[in-house]
Structure 1
Amino acid sequence: METLLTKGIQKGRLKIQDYQDTEIGRIPKEWEVVKLGDIGDLQDGDWILKEDYTDSGVRLLQVGDIGLGAFIDKSERYISNERANQLKCTFVDPDEDVLISRMPDPIGRACLAPLLSYPYIVAVDVTIFRLEKETANPKFIIYSLNNPSILKKVSRYSSGATRQRISRTNLEQIPLPLPPLPEQQNIAEILSTVDQKIELLKSKKEKYEKIKKGLMEDLLTGKRRVKV
């Protein structure tokens, strides 16, 4: 992933070409380095108090719901529609937005806004990032943000004595490599295909682990006998 996101591809293969030295390292000459705030609008989530929580209504996504490139669906917080409107909360658009966590772990991890069957908002430490799609491919940007070398840079921009976090202002200053849009799309497709294969292997692993567990139970208790 590191190589694809910093060296690029050509006709389906890694490029061998001239490079330029930049603040984020060596990248292809036709790529550029941009700050996150240059390719879209970043907006903080909403400050919601515990007394605003309800059992249903508008879903409140929190930092624990944001994984490395994946929505985890971990929290179960809601506020009423009426309260969300009173607070003038920002509703997430799953067709447009990327979600970035400003808290560990790691700080700066990102995922696509999930397509849920109900309206939702995000907590204050989750940033809503709406990209300029004529410039940047959302999946490519997510892969870039989740690249370990970029996450290290995000960490250096963070602060806090007890709980580290990065401010939205500092998040806007994070530098990223940006290839031409068609190449971004190709890189994102390659990495997405790899992710799909990884998930398939995980599913197979889980299946065989269940089979093994059942066999152990049967064989080690004598429920199933073996020939000798």
Structure 2
Amino acid sequence: MVGEQNPWHTRRIADLFSVKKSNTLSRDKLNYEQGACKDVHYGDVLVKYGCVLDLASSDVPYITNNDDVTGEYLCDGDVVFADTAEDLSVGKACEIAGASERKAVAGLHTIVLRPQPGLFASGFLGYYVNSRHFHETMIPFAHGTKVTSISSNDLLSLVIPIPPRPEQEAIAKTLDDIDSLIESLEILIAKKRDLREGLAQELLTGARRLPGFDGPWHQVNLQDALELCTETIPVSDIDETTYVGTENMLKDKGGVVSFDKHVTYANVREYLPGDILFSNIRPYLKKIWFADRSGGCSNDVLVLRSVDANLYDSHYCYLVLSRDDFFAFVTNNSSGTKMPRGDKEAIKTYQMAIPKDIGEQRAIAQVLADLDNEIQETERKLDKYKQVKQGMMRELLTGRIRLAQE
């Protein structure tokens, strides 16, 4: 940080950039195996690519037929915008890197802006055009209802800052450093999840035994270990933190969030701490939760409870039902098309592998719980650094905080 520095200047994008031609190739014209030229597709810009896109990345597909290659080859420093989206993510962009080693063009629903040579440090534009400040100046120009779009003329009418080149380099380096940290945490989380899933597969099937346990296992129907609870409580006994409906259960075993709507029922199904709640609507979404409180839920949420805590550990049973095998079983025994619903009688017959020793059940549950806690702690750290990055972008890319120039 420094005191007095050279001022930032702003110029219209039209005065500094030229528009380059892209193509209109659809996704079925691309592949991830081989080709002479890569294609930067707008859908990937919207959801996959970061602020700076290295064309050496395996996430950038090839154009399958060389005769389909149209548009101008991308250069380092080009900025590729997604000009269409189904929401206000329209205008998401990435700066191109690695173009000297990979031929690539921009594809369907993209706008390519090429800056004048030497004006911007590598990476600065990628971070700036993805800042909230820039996005907020661009959104008023977006048009459309069901699909939102922005034109090249709209982009050219906007203004962009030109900090001193050394400061641009310092900003890009600072943000790239925290991006590298975020990426390393994402890789670590993915590795831990893979480890956890592999270990769960072995421990919950008896393929691997924990030290000190060698007793028998048995296969039981779900209804032998868990009962479907149907007791109800008045809606006055719950609030937004204790009501669980299919709407506020998160997919892919993500748990639950607060319910922000009005509960229209007079009574709701009761659940207690240690119960297993499973959304029986669209079971392929894998909505399941191990309750850590008392509350009420909708009739579309099944409440499963251990029939005997001395024989069947509820946390262990939750882990068994969190496996993909269970969701596939319920999905295969569902009826309905738009909103398929699991067959309760079939669910009761689902086969569960369970150690006869309750101690082994609890030990397995604890091992996996410890891994889950470790993953969650790393995810919290990742969220923290993402928030730090947003704050840094807000301050550095508006000039509120200035970095030292060498």
Above 0.5 in TM-score?
yes
Shift of 1:45: 7.6
Shift of 1:145: 0.6
Distance 1:135-1:164 versus aligned 2 partners, 3 A rule = same
Distance 1:212-1:107 versus aligned 2 partners, 3 A rule = closer
Residue 342 of structure 2 aligns to a residue whose secondary structure is: coil
Matched, 1:66 2:266: no
Distance 2:405 2:285 in 1: 56
Distance 1:126-1:103 versus aligned 2 partners, 3 A rule = same
Distance 2:374 2:208 in 1: 21
Shift of 1:41: 1.4
Shift of 1:8: 3.7
Matched, 1:92 2:271: yes
Question: For residues 211-222 of structure 1, what are the structure 2 equivalents within 5 Å?
Answer: 211-222=388-399
Structure number with bigger Rg: 2
Q: Read off the aligned partner of 1:225 and give its amino acid letter.
A: L
Q: Does the 8 Å contact 2:283/2:341 carry over to 1?
A: no
Distance 1:64-1:44 versus aligned 2 partners, 3 A rule = farther
Q: Read off the aligned partner of 1:113 and give its amino acid letter.
A: A
Q: Does the 8 Å contact 1:103/1:166 carry over to 2?
A: yes
TM-score, with length taken from structure 2: 0.43
Moved more, 215-224 or 150-159: 215-224
Distance 1:217-1:75 versus aligned 2 partners, 3 A rule = closer
Match of 1:103 in 2: 281
Question: For residues 201-216 of structure 1, what are the structure 2 equivalents within 5 Å?
Answer: 201-216=378-393
Match of 1:186 in 2: 363
Question: Pick from 194, 212, 224: which aligns with 2:402?
Answer: 224
Q: Read off the aligned partner of 1:201 and give its amino acid letter.
A: T
Q: Does the 8 Å contact 1:107/1:166 carry over to 2?
A: no
Question: For residues 121-160 of structure 1, what are the structure 2 equivalents within 5 Å?
Answer: 121-131=296-306, 132-160=308-336
Q: Does the 8 Å contact 1:154/1:166 carry over to 2?
A: yes
User: What count of residue pairs does the alignment treat as equivalent?
Assistant: 197
Q: Which blocks of at least 5 consecutive residues in structure 2 are unaligned? A: 1-199
Shift of 1:129: 1.2
* Per-residue deviation, residues 112-143 of structure 1 (Å, max 9, x unmatched): 23415xxx322111112121212211111111
* Per-residue deviation, residues 64-87 of structure 1 (Å, max 9, x unmatched): 33342633334544368xx43xxx
Q: Does the 8 Å contact 2:220/2:352 carry over to 1?
A: yes
Q: Does the 8 Å contact 1:45/1:127 carry over to 2?
A: no
Distance 1:30 1:75 in 2: 47
Distance 1:217-1:69 versus aligned 2 partners, 3 A rule = closer
Looking at both structures, which has the greater relative contact order when contacts are Cα pairs under 8 Å and sequence separation is at least 6?
A: 1
Q: Read off the aligned partner of 1:64 and give its amino acid letter.
A: E
Shift of 1:104: 2.3
Moved more, 102-111 or 158-167: 102-111
Question: Pick from 360, 370, 374: which aligns with 1:197?
Answer: 374
Distance 2:211 2:387 in 1: 42
Q: Read off the aligned partner of 2:256 and give its amino acid letter.
A: F
Match of 1:113 in 2: 291
Q: Does the 8 Å contact 1:104/1:164 carry over to 2?
A: yes
Q: Does the 8 Å contact 1:66/1:72 carry over to 2?
A: yes
Distance 1:135 1:66 in 2: 29
Q: Read off the aligned partner of 1:121 and give its amino acid letter.
A: G
Shift of 1:173: 1.1
Shift of 1:205: 0.8
Distance 1:63 1:45 in 2: 18
Match of 1:164 in 2: 340
Q: Does the 8 Å contact 1:98/1:130 carry over to 2?
A: yes
Q: Which blocks of at least 5 consecutive residues in structure 1 are unaligned? A: 18-28, 47-51
TM-score, with length taken from structure 1: 0.73
Shift of 1:192: 0.7
* Per-residue deviation, residues 144-184 of structure 1 (Å, max 9, x unmatched): 11111222122111121321111221211111111132111
